[in-house]
Structures are given as C-alpha cells and as structure tokens.
Chains A and B, each alone.
Chain A
Amino acid sequence: MLSFIGRRILIAIPTVILVSIFVFTLQKLLPGDPILVLAGEERDPQVIELLRAKYHLNDPLPIQYLAWAGQALQGNLGVSLRTGVPVMQLIKDKLPVTLQLAAMAMCFALLIGIPAGVMAAVRKGSAWDYGATALALWGLSIPNFFLGILLIFLISVQLNWLPASGYVPLSESVSQNLKTMIMPAFVLGNALAASMMRHTRSAMLGVLRQDYVRTARAKGLLEPRVILKHALRNALIPVVTIGTLLFGELLAGAVLTEQIFTIPGFGKLIVDAVFNRDYSVVQGVVLCTAVGYIALNLLADVLYVVLNPRLRTR
C-alpha cells in the first residue's frame, strides 16, 4: 500500500514539472506586456529597460524558468506586479475562502446526489427515478451564472432571506459567514449534485445485478441493509473516485460563482490578475491550481485502492 502511494507520488513529480513549464511559457505567449503596465503613462524607454533588467526579462527563457522554478520551490512565487504583495500571501488569504465554498458545495452534492442516485436505482423505472433523472438533467444544463442570478433575485431581492453578496470571514462570525456562503455553495454544487446522482444511479444499477447482492438477500438480510451495506459499499468505489476528481472542477467553477456573489476567493483573485496582466499572480495561481489538481488525482487513486480490497496487496 505504502509503496503504491510512493510510486504514484513519483509519477506525479514529472507531471508537476511539465505543468510548471507549460504555465511559464503560456504566460510568455499571452498578448500584453506587464512592463508597459508597470512603466506607467509616459513609457520612458529607459525606465522600461531598467524594469526589464530588474525582473531578468532579458535573460534567455530557460534561465528565466529555472530562476522562477527555484524560487517557487522555496515557496516564493514572487510579488504581485500591481500591489507588491507576495503572491504566496495572496494565495494564503484567498484559497481558504474558495476551499470552504467548494467543500460546502461538495457536502451539498453528496447529501443530495448519493441518496437520490440510490433511490433512483432501487426504484428504477418509477416516478421517483424519472423525477430524479429530470432534475439531474436540469441541474446539469442550467448555467451557474443564470442560477446564481435567479436565486439572488428570488431569495435576496424578493424574499429578503439571505444577503445577495458580500463575504464575512469564518473567523469573524460563523453564522454570518454561513449566511453569505450557503447560496453560492448551492449554485456551485448544483451541477455536481446532478452528476453525482447520475454516477451513483448507474453504479448502483450495476451492483444490484451482482450475485453477491442475491447472496445477501439469501442470507435473509432486509432490503435496507442489502442496499446500504452490500450494494452501496461497492457502488461508492467509482463514485468516490469521480467525486474527488470533480472536486477539482469545483475549484475551477468557483471563478464564476465568486464573481456573481462577489466573494473574495481564489476565482476572483485569478480573474482580477488576468485583467490587470498581473503576471506573477496569474502564474502562481495557475501553478497552485494545477498542483491541487494533481494532488486530487493522486488522492482519487489512493482512495480507489483503499476502498477496493481487490487492489490491495497482501
């Protein structure tokens, strides 16, 4: 088991290096020159030259990359070209907000998606199944921004139940924080709940046909135990794996949701950075996201083995 995890980590390292090279070069290919932004209105050629030298922008690209990667390894992703704040500090401030949002969205997706998927599979072909399937289709097809605006209009403007936007840190007030986060989490988790429901349903349908489910019934076990222990335990193996990977997509989906509800998270950070051509911030954020993705992939692989005794070595 440990050697498996070790092997997976070793495989992940070249992926991280490739991603960092990609992030670095992509940034160079983007139109727009941050030095021109920095140099201000006058764009004095001397100032520009000085700035280029200061940021080593005249060095060959591989040298630039190595310098950047070396610093990044030590936790230094540079400073924001706009504000001078260290990029690492920005990430530390903003990431927890988005992680909380994504975690809440995930909880919501699991609480809705898995029970709904189980019910749809157990009552296949019933009104419940068709209802859940239709709802899932709706959940998958409605765009985040539309649902967000719809909810703001209904719940905040018409009913005045929850604030339309704004953010209160968790450390300040838990209840206020939850009030501002619950609607964004619902919007973000909506599509995920739908796809969790679909995955759970199809995994359950496959498992319910298995001989060991018949064996469980032949033992005299009652239906709830047959379904929740013997069937669901096996059906959850692919669902957990997919869920872990989809969590990464939640982080990406948060960009839009955070914009709608003006939550100062990771997504908002990257959007602002791109608009400001804040090179180092974009690089840092993209690298951080990519590493997060790779880590989630790793976690999904490990979970798959942990949940599946057949893959465990003796």
Chain B
Amino acid sequence: MPPPSGSPRPEPQKPILSVAGLSIALRGRGRETSLVQDVSFSLSEGRTLCLVGESGCGKSLTSLAIMGLLASPPLEITRGEILFEGRDLRALSARDRADLRGDRMTMIFQEPMTSLNPAFTIGDQIAEAVMRHKGGTAEEARAKALEMLKRVRIPAAEKRLDEYPHQLSGGMRQRIMIAMALVNGPRLLIADEPTTALDVTIQAQILSLVRRLQQETGSAMLLITHDLGVVAEVADEVAVMYAGRIVERASVKDIFDDPQHPYTIGLMGSLPSLSGREERLATIPGSVPAPERMPKGCRFAPRCPFCIPACTEAQPPLLEVAPGHEAACIRAPLEQHVTEAA
C-alpha cells in the first residue's frame, strides 16, 4: 500500500501500524452480518490519522479490532491483516496481545464517566497499568502515576491520587484516562471520540492536551471522530468511512481543500460555519443503509446526487485520484461533472 503523501511535512519513516483488508462481521444464529469491509490504512510514527464518519460506520469497531478488544463472540475479524511494529497482531497469542495493550498501544474511550472503575482510587488504577507492564514496587508505580497526573495538568494531583472517580468531573476523568493511556509511553495511542462526551470548552482543552503529549512522546495517534472541527485541528491524514468502508483517504489539507467523494463533500456541507449566513445546515438526504441491507454497488449510491446506473452495479474500489489522495468513487474527480452540469 502506498504511504499517504501530499502533506507539506517531510515524509515520515516506516509505518508503525498498517491495516490491510480488515473485515469485521457479526456472527450469530447461523447468520453473518458484515459491519466493516476491506478497511486499509497505515499510520507512521509520530503522525495522526483521523478516522471520520457518522455513528455506526464501523470506525469504533475498527479501533477495537486493532486493540484486540472486540467482543468476540459475536463480533469477529473475518479477514485482513493488522501489522503493528511489523508484527501481525492476529497471529499473536492472547497473552502476547495483552502484553502490548496498555504498554506499546493504548486507548482512550469516549465515555470518561463510565470508563474508570468506581470501586478503586485514581492512583490505584493508573499505578496498576505501570506495575502490569513495567513491574516495580507499588511506591514507584504511585510516583509514576503522580508524575503523569501532573503532566495531564490535574490540579492538586497528590490529593487526587487517593480520590475515587465519582469525585471528579467528566473533563478531569478524561485527563485521568489520558494519563493512564500515556503512562507507559505507548508507540500508538488510539483515541475513540475522546471529546464527544465533554463540554465544548473542555473539548478544546483535552484536544490540545492530547496533541501536546503526543508530540512530547512522539507516539502515533489514531483518532476516531465524527467532528470535522477536531479533524482540521489535529489530523495529518484522514480516512473517511461510510457504512463500514473507507470511501476516501488523503492528507488533511486535501480532504478539506479538494474532497473527492460525494459523501465527504456532503459531510463538509453539513459543517456549520461561523462566518456563513446560511439559513439552515445542509444535510445529506436519506439515511445510512442497515448492515444487512447493503446495496450491491456503491453503498452511498442511494443518497448520492452524482449517482449514475454504473454506481449501483459494483462496489467502486479505492483508487488514487491525485498523488496521495484516494477515493472510492467511479465519478471522481467530480469537478468535471459539476462544470458539465453548470
């Protein structure tokens, strides 16, 4: 797979994570419903890839599959390959994967309110991650936890170590989750909608905190979001998902300046603008097809204003439309059709 390019930054080295042809299905009662199909992307050291799409498009499933946290059964990886630091994760034993989790690759979840165990103190929960992977005494782990709390800017960190999650606000809890995820210095951080559940003012703080810590530690980040504002702020590269497939992949600049897939264009259209004076937000007509009733051709075809008969016949492959810019649309680039129509 060609590494994404087109970014103004110098081309980074080897990919730390590469996902190829990943498919995930829900298996049960003799039926198999495909939820994620043929997802491929790669992520290099120190870079940030945003996986964008609306809820239910399979972006969280993809991230859980990378972490090895899919609820299996009933969810299962049906095909594909996940390479992390050159190792095929699917070939590893459960024990080896657990050794990577929380150490080399870590994850922050969407719901800070429920992601911490209510029965244990903050210090205990962070120190536990340290002791699991780095060993050492409880005192050393606690010191490490304290240092990490200070790095995520928790006020009165010393006191917080002995507090329980319910004594903290949502924003504080997400900082704790970030501290827990970064305490062992991971090479890959997966953040699944880390700011969605938070107040708008807190969102920006958390986002810049994650960004800063990521730059300090030089780890790669896979950020799952539906928020294009977040994408514009932190992404180097973007992969747009729709109904379980990647429909467009490009550098962040190309995605915003020159989106090629009609779905991406639709997403941009539904982005509220501070300067604009539109009467109402643009929406994409129709709704996402249910996983068990996927159209045979392009999954976006029923909602697409550019749809032609050929679109409904076969699934369009992800093809390069410009250097480092791929789109799964047989009509791309679209400018010509827009000018034709005009």
Contacts of B177 in A (CB 8 A): 215
- A314 interface residue, CB < 8 Å from B? yes
Q: Which residue of B lies closest to A213 (CB)?
A: B117
Within 8 A of A (CB), among B60-95: 67, 69, 95
Q: Please, could you name 6 A-B residue pairs with CB atoms under 8 Å apart, sorted by A? A: A210-B114, A212-B118, A219-B106, A220-B99, A220-B100, A308-B119
- Which residues from 268 to 314 on chain A have a C-beta closer than 8 Å to any C-beta of chain B? 307-310, 314
Q: Chain A residues near B133: list those with CB within 8 A.
A: 220
Closest to A236 in B: B119
A-B CB proximity, top 3 nearest: A220-B102, A219-B102, A220-B101
* Number of cross-chain contacts by CB at 8 Å: 73
Knowing A220-B103, A220-B129, A310-B166 are in contact, say whether A215-B118 is a contact too (CB < 8 A): no
Residue in A closest to B108 when the chains form the complex, CB atoms: A218
C-alpha gap A37/B106 in the complex (Å)? 80
Question: With contacts A233-B119, A309-B166, A310-B164 known, is A212 near B99, CB below 8 A?
Answer: no
What separation, in Å, do the CA atoms of A237 and B119 have in the docked complex? 10
Whether the pair A212, B117 counts as a contact (CB closer than 8 A) is yes
Question: Quick check: B128 and A219 within 8 Å, CB to CB?
Answer: yes
Q: In the complex, A221→B124 CA distance in Å?
A: 14
Q: Is A219 within 8 A of B166, CB to CB?
A: no
Is B95 in contact with A309, judged by CB distance below 8 angstroms? no
Q: Which residue on chain B has the smallest CB distance to residue A218? A: B107
Given A211-B109, A220-B103, A220-B129, does the pair A309, B118 have CB atoms closer than 8 Å? yes
A215 to B164, CA, bound (A): 16
A212 to B117 alpha-carbon distance, docked (Å): 5
Interface size class of B (residues with CB under 8 A): 20 to 34
A212 x B164 contact (CB < 8 A):
no
Task: List residues of chain A with CB within 8 A of the CB of B116.
Answer: 212, 215
A214:B100 contact, CB within 8 angstroms:
no
Q: Does B180 contact A (CB under 8 A)?
A: yes
| Complexed CA–CA distance, A211 and B174 (Å) | 13
Contact with A along B180-220 (1 / 0, CB 8 A): 11000000000000000000000000000000000000000
Contact status of A217 and B114, CB under 8 A, knowing A233-B119, A309-B166, A310-B166: no
Pick from B107, B120, B132: contact of A221, CB below 8 A: B132
Interfacial chain A residues near B128, Cβ < 8 Å: 219, 221
In the complex, are the beta carbons of B115 and A215 less than 8 A apart?
yes
Contact A219 B132 (CB under 8 A): yes
Q: How far is the CB of A200 from chain B (nearest CB, A)?
A: 16
**Which chain A residues border B129 with CB–CB below 8 Å?**
219-220
Chain B residues positioned under 8 Å from A159 (CB to CB): none
Residues of B near A221 (CB, < 8 A) are 98, 102, 128, 132
Name the distance in Å between A290's Cβ and chain B's nearest Cβ.
Answer: 34
Q: Is the beta-carbon distance between B119 and A234 smaller than 8 angstroms?
A: yes
Q: What chain B residues lie within 8 Å of A218 (beta carbons)?
A: 67, 69, 101-102, 106-107, 109, 181
A222 within 8 A of B: yes
Whole-angstrom distance between the Cβ of A129 and the nearest chain B Cβ:
14
Q: Mark B213-250, 1 if CB is under 8 A from A, else 0.
A: 00000000000000000000000000000000000000
Chain B residues whose C-beta falls within 8 Å of the C-beta of A210 in the assembled complex = 114
Chain A residue at smallest Cβ distance from B167 = A314
